[in-house]
Structure 1
Amino acid sequence: MPSVTIKDVARLAGVSPSTVSRVISNHPRISKATAEKVRQAMETLGYHPNMTAKKLVSKSTKTLGLVLPRSAEELFANPFFSEVLRGMLACANQKQYDLLMSSANNPKEEMETVTRMVLGRQVDGMILIKPRKADPVIEKLLALDFPFVVLGRSLEHPDVPAVNNDNIAAAFDATVHLINQGHRRIGFVSGPPELVVSGDRLAGYQKALSQAKLPLRDEWVIASDILPKNGFHAVSMVMNAPDRPTAFVVSDDVVAFGMIRELVGAGYQIPEDVSVVGFNNIVLSELSNPPMTTVDIGIYHLGYQTARHLIRILQGEKVPEPNVTVPHRLVIRQSVRFLPHVDDSL
């Protein structure tokens, strides 16, 4: 059976082939009535535009590039990535963009993949997730003058387009909640130290302790990668000390689950012996035992707004501010114990 052509659609709709092309390209001068007539003809005939040819003519791929700075194993282990992707895909689909996604096992692979996407003209713009301090990928994209948006923020280039939470304020709020519940010995489990977000959340924790005139104990600040297995062991040394924290702020819910598993296995009870506040408010945090207090950072909205921000830039829209802030909120559940008096015997 011969394939349906643009001329067949034009003949059925009673318009010229050029009008059909304009409808496919969403040309603003085509009336709604004509556009509807053409689309109805396309549906009747089962016609699908040759998008590859269209992209070659327009020199636009209608594709956003995304390189996740994690291996496939890590991506599936942490629901943060699937939820942020869900937001990006929802926006991209609405705006008729595709998402070209890849993962990288290390910074070198990430740079190679980004370079291949950009110089190979596979994408119109790039999305970077959780940038590092002095991130070479950001430097590369700036040097190439290639459109990109950061999910997070650039430490060295604060004016690059970005979508982020106020992570300093978010960690501050989490720590203050523990202080308000009577805790004075509070530990902090950070993400990888090379990530900007890890430094921001550590700063918020430190700010809360300073404001409450509580000492900052370096041995109570633990760097952990964003994987459950690291959460299993991150606090063992701290908890074996005679002077140990009564509570922890943990930079990721998944790491917090691992930490809780380690604590329970060692004979501690949550929150009777140790209180825990996590980050991200993934679905499992509400289903854990006990349900975990956590900071909701709006993961889906972070993904959606990042894709939206990049598409607006690509379409030449006037963007009022280069940086978009997605609000956070503290979700209080049962993983934090109230201490009516500071009990140094714990």
Structure 2
Amino acid sequence: MNEAFNPDELVVTEANPAPAGITASTFRAPDGKRLRYAVSPSALERTRGTVILLQGRNENIEKYFETIGELNRRGYMVATFDWRGQGGSERMLRDRRRGYVRRFGAYVNDLEAFIQDVALPDCRGPFVILAHSMGGLVALTAAPRLVNSIERMVLSAPLVAFPANRAIGTRGLHRLARLGRWLGLGRLPVAPSLLPGRRVRAASPALSSDPKRLARNAALAEAAPWLFLGKPTVAWLAAVTGAMRRLEDSDNIARLGVPTLIVTAGHDAVVDSRAAERLAWRMRSGSSLTIPFARHELLQEADRFRAPFMEAFESFTAGALPLD
């Protein structure tokens, strides 16, 4: 990390201004790790409620300034935080570029602590979750424990499964990664050939078709490289594929009681959209929507894809976070 970096401050660039009134600080995870968070107030006189914004892997608060500002203008407070091991939160390894987590439950515990220690005392209810990619997988895993605090969830291209690999599926990846972790290789980076859908950089055209937003994210990565990651590790892969496999179990799916809208991207090269759609169909409280031709990062996409996503979010959450 840049020695001058202060986790209570946010990185602002000319192309990526911070939303008005946003503040940043840190909180402690249950195991003592320090995680960076931000809260941004509604831009309207009346606050409709709070959107808890959950990022994907290798993302950070700054990358969502535009989305946070738009939600504020629609009357929502926004509360968000950087997952352990990325963004401005405490890293798990000496090599800060490696994406590492020891077990997936740590992400779930971090989310619960954020809701209890930051969102509930400092933000206006009711609460809904807006989650992208890996954040969607965390939200789904945590959902049975969130039914009393979260009204609804909208998941953008959730990481339910990796793109189909004929040589080795989710079960094979999980077994291979668990073996590697058992052999003491958990901190090593994953071979790129195992995860073709993850070989994308923070501003890759595989993520979005919008050149201006890609350039904005590239400028952010250049201005603050310490906020970003390199390859995921074997331990991260073992943790994530384990969470994916648990979501294949009918008993676990039956416990997903928070009303959930899953929005998939028609040209997603990072996650398996069909697996996410199947999950929504199997959930008693789930529904799905596909935005044709859109790429993985729906909230970083061109307006013709991003606008329908935001309207779907507005429509689905209107009953929980009414304007009037």
State the TM-score, normalizing by the size of structure 1. Answer: 0.33
Higher helix share: 1
Higher Cα radius of gyration? 1
